Structure 1
């Protein structure tokens, strides 16, 4: 019988070390994506200025044709689907690898604010940038309304 004692210095015990070595990816049955690549949702920054909304999405390794950007009423949706297939054939074996990456992010923009006809999108060096201009009536800088407290 193997007896393992854990001392107070927080060092790893033998079973924990084995779990660490052998328990990665191969035995992760909860992960429905069995490809070598991990699936993540890209980070997005949204900035509002007086003139427009600026959206930046970090998606390195993608191509501009991998993206689909739609605006339905005031719902902005950015999505992507990328399939990669590699095959290696040598004398005594064939190895095929597949990977599939997809994501979808949706954001609700304020009603009747966006100038839909002048939206611009640009993808360069792993960064998708959208500039969503505001309508002229939405650009008006109104003084804040002061609410009297009774």
Structure 2
């Protein structure tokens, strides 16, 4: 009776040992990393972040050197008991998302609104900073 060692597709069995841990790490990251939608409007930028189960008091928004950072903590507790069973589950985790903003934003006018587990951030553009495309000619060396 012979024992077979599984052969990796890339020939490196050592890195395959860590694959379950790597997959678990991705699932944890996705659990604590909120879903974000960002868009450009005529007047500025809109960012919506889904934060189900997070309370407004547990969210912090800051702007430093055109880097907008949203961070917070999520804590939930569920407990059920009756005559024959007891169930308790707790979830805790912190998250942070950072966005580099363009230089033409009006930082003092950024607004944030939190309702029903969704954080909406409106970032207005500076007046007169409409982006325009300019063709740059290439000159020949003389």
- Secondary structure of the residue aligned to 1:60 is coil
**Residue 107 (structure 2) aligns with:** 116
Query: Hey, what's the Cα distance between the residues in 2 that align with 1:88 and 1:137?
Result: 58
Q: How many residues align?
A: 115
Structure 1: 5+ residue stretches without partners: 1-27, 33-37
**Residue 79 (structure 1) aligns with:** 71
* Residue number among 129, 135, 139 corresponding to 2:120 in the alignment: 129
**Residue 44 (structure 1) aligns with:** 36
Q: TM-score, normalised by structure 1?
A: 0.60
**Residue 4 (structure 2) aligns with:** none
Alignment of 1:2-81 (within 5 A): 39-81=31-73
Query: Hey, what's the Cα distance between the residues in 2 that align with 1:78 and 1:96?
Result: 30
Contact 2:53 2:76 (C-alpha < 8 Å) held by counterparts: no
- Secondary structure of the residue aligned to 2:57 is helix
Query: Hey, what's the Cα distance between the residues in 2 that align with 1:83 and 1:141?
Result: 42
Q: TM-score, normalised by structure 2?
A: 0.63
When the two chains are superposed, the root-mean-square deviation of aligned CA atoms in Å is 3.0
Structure 2: 5+ residue stretches without partners: 1-19
Structure number with higher helix proportion: 2
Judge which range, 58-67 or 95-104, deviates more: 95-104
Q: CA deviation at 1:40?
A: 3.1
